[in-house]
Structure 1
């Protein structure tokens, strides 16, 4: 959808994304006989969801814009296992589980939010019924509302990709005047085929046993190292893993999942149903300081690598800097 971004001396820009499945059958029918199952009113599954800025020609050419290397991911989240919001005019849904809303600070990316741009929303739905989505941008010029991460002086659109490993490196040029460089990283693991998670046969078929590890649906429930290489040297290494998917109580996530309990409590590869994606548990910060590795006044080669990969990974990197 085309968006005309306003001009201003912005101190904070927030992106708010709302998704509603609109499940309208009565419990437990709304979840299907195989919970979570199919529902004619909406999608009761946990899905990859992304809001992104279109920066290439995919709209003009009619190509798929999601996961295109030239586009910029603004937000990655995972839907809950359906919602059943009771919204006009249809009035469908029980109203027990409202639409899920996420708000994310995108202030550093202000240099990209100029003029007319296309905004895309993707939810990986594999059933006939889907989601209603809403996107809102809130701009502020007030000093008392300033983001702790102000508008960057420059932004490098590195990559946005869905699937397997990326073989290529991406050039990132940092001006000599830069004093701080950060990378904003989203990465989430998916896939349901069984492989060994950990141990001496990590990443191999479960058929041969998994000594020292366990057999899991990979890569959704598998611990997989993610790496960022700068000039062929690993400078960031992380095993994306969330073990806080139902904080406070094993029943807590029922309140934002119409279907799918107790699955909403399970730990996963960088995500939880109903939450913004992050590579670690607890207080989340997708921004990583790369100043010592993406040094000013040079062009560097950045490559993203997942040494053991059995499923599909949705991943994106943006680099921005301050002068």
Structure 2
């Protein structure tokens, strides 16, 4: 009897190993966890591996339920190559084959062992981008593979641990009698691309990119003319194009980005990206086509007439997406050399505008861009809008209303500077909200101008917002970080005290940067009409120099 139990124990030890050796292929299911908790709603990683090749895929891909792009990784153990296969929504595919990556993987091996799913595992450690990666692998199954491209040649990796708290762990191992027919690269092979191209195509396929302008010139010239797609106004300092936006899923992120280079202008200029609302009887487009004087006039008692700056019953002002400022002559004036200064080739501005999605969602809109300048060469710009999908199939249900925009984008066509804050009344408008019990916010952009020592560009001034006569918010908009962008400002003036003009602190802007909006909580406004007032203690003129404030405001709900 004793010998029987010894024999039984021996059989129990030997039989699994013999079965494993007979297995031509293995399927391993991995689950992800963080800080000891299994991640919810995850798509489990699947590994199929044989003696010659392994495949990293996911459960949704095998069930044909995965969203595009679909990426799978094949490892050929004979040739030591890693092949990345990407399939896109338009039914195209690309392949990158790397014959060096597997051999470049370096590990530190430990004497530590542990059991995972009943198999004895050894530990190997490596570091990638300052992340410590631990791999627990077994050689008892006589096949190799891993949940990612890392560690595929060690053995069968059953757990991967990043920085001690993020894990990918095998939850199930299935021994397959035959090698699955899909465990091979497609034949014929798709287009083969280099790794950088592969990564770029994969990245760009994950979002929708809308090219609005591509290396267009914004300058001041009588020769600037419109064409079939791009309209030019104010002697070429404004460009406008009609763009059709797709449906945007709720929860999506929307970004606008601008690339700018000097094409001759050496100075820091105010720039703006905007949508022209056309739902009212009069639009800003009418002013562009027929002159600023045809736009509704705002007066506050200081004797000046300000065209098209506030909302009226039949007019909506420009909806500002982004306010940016050009640096001093980036690219065009990079020949102005200074010791240890490597000037930037261009300036890139990028901003999240997701709260403005209702103005774009499934709509055809006029998008415009301006840079105020009086230079024939002007500036070269590109503008893109990117939409990064959310997780909800519903469309956006929030609401917005453009209230005011005093940025005189038609400066070169006679639109008045925003000097209305030299009067106690400042800027005041009446607006109407459709629903009570909504949390209303004001998306507010403000920048002060007046480029001499005592001008409001260089003097901190308090901005005060009042709703229905009650002070809601007050703050001093001021930027002290302008010196951080010195390498974008080759033509900046240099002073005897060692500072450059681009270093100086300013009223909420710096040469070569975006001025982000602030969000002012207005609370739950009752349905009906309300008043809003903006007050700023604008400085007095000195000779021919004067101050002004470019402010824009959009009412939004969450």
Using structure 2 for the length normalisation, give the TM-score. 0.43
Q: 1:83 aligns with which of 325, 330, 339?
A: 330
Q: From the superposition, tell whether residues 220 and 77 of structure 1 become closer, same or farther in structure 2 (CA, over 3 Å).
A: same
Native 8 Å contact 1:164 1:309 kept in 2:
no
Q: Distance in 2 between matches of 1:8 and 1:269?
A: 35
Aligned pairs (5 A) from 1:310-321: 310=540, 311-321=547-557
1:183 aligned to 2:423?
no
Q: From the superposition, tell whether residues 287 and 168 of structure 1 become closer, same or farther in structure 2 (CA, over 3 Å).
A: closer
Is the partner of 2:386 in helix, strand or coil? strand
Q: 1:152, CA displacement in angstroms?
A: 6.1
Q: 1:308, CA displacement in angstroms?
A: 3.2
Q: Distance in 2 between matches of 1:21 and 1:192?
A: 20
Native 8 Å contact 1:15 1:135 kept in 2:
yes
Q: From the superposition, tell whether residues 218 and 172 of structure 1 become closer, same or farther in structure 2 (CA, over 3 Å).
A: farther
Q: What residue in structure 2 maps to residue 207 of structure 1?
A: none
Q: From the superposition, tell whether residues 124 and 176 of structure 1 become closer, same or farther in structure 2 (CA, over 3 Å).
A: same
Q: From the superposition, tell whether residues 130 and 239 of structure 1 become closer, same or farther in structure 2 (CA, over 3 Å).
A: same
Is the partner of 1:219 in helix, strand or coil? coil
Q: 2:253 aligns with which of 12, 27, 49?
A: 12
Q: 1:97, CA displacement in angstroms?
A: 2.3
Q: 1:84, CA displacement in angstroms?
A: 0.7
Native 8 Å contact 1:241 1:270 kept in 2:
yes
Q: What residue in structure 1 maps to residue 389 of structure 2?
A: 141
Q: From the superposition, tell whether residues 192 and 60 of structure 1 become closer, same or farther in structure 2 (CA, over 3 Å).
A: closer
Q: 1:127, CA displacement in angstroms?
A: 2.6
Q: 1:67, CA displacement in angstroms?
A: 6.7
Q: 1:142, CA displacement in angstroms?
A: 3.6
Q: 1:54 aligns with which of 265, 269, 276?
A: 276
Q: What residue in structure 2 maps to residue 164 of structure 1?
A: 419
Q: What residue in structure 1 maps to residue 503 of structure 2?
A: 265
Larger CA Rg, structure 1 vs 2: 2
Q: What residue in structure 2 maps to residue 129 of structure 1?
A: 377
Q: Distance in 1 between matches of 2:356 and 2:506?
A: 28
Q: Distance in 2 between matches of 1:17 and 1:118?
A: 17
Q: 1:289 aligns with which of 521, 535, 547?
A: 521
| Unaligned residue ranges in structure 2 (runs of 5+) | 1-240, 296-306, 311-316, 408-417, 421-425, 495-499, 541-546
Q: Distance in 2 between matches of 1:96 and 1:312?
A: 31
Q: Distance in 2 between matches of 1:76 and 1:176?
A: 31
Q: 1:44, CA displacement in angstroms?
A: 1.1
1:108 aligned to 2:355?
yes
| Unaligned residue ranges in structure 1 (runs of 5+) | 23-41, 87-91, 145-149, 194-215, 248-252, 279-284
Q: 1:172, CA displacement in angstroms?
A: 4.0
Aligned residue pair count: 257
Higher relative contact order (CA 8 A, sep 6+): 1
Native 8 Å contact 1:43 1:125 kept in 2:
yes
Q: From the superposition, tell whether residues 226 and 318 of structure 1 become closer, same or farther in structure 2 (CA, over 3 Å).
A: same
Q: 1:232, CA displacement in angstroms?
A: 1.5
Q: What residue in structure 1 maps to residue 399 of structure 2?
A: 154
Is the partner of 1:168 in helix, strand or coil? strand
Q: Distance in 2 between matches of 1:186 and 1:112?
A: 18
Native 8 Å contact 2:463 2:475 kept in 1:
yes
Q: From the superposition, tell whether residues 104 and 134 of structure 1 become closer, same or farther in structure 2 (CA, over 3 Å).
A: same
Q: 1:242 aligns with which of 466, 473, 479?
A: 479
Is the partner of 1:109 in helix, strand or coil? helix
**Higher helix fraction (1 or 2):** 2
Q: 1:59, CA displacement in angstroms?
A: 2.4
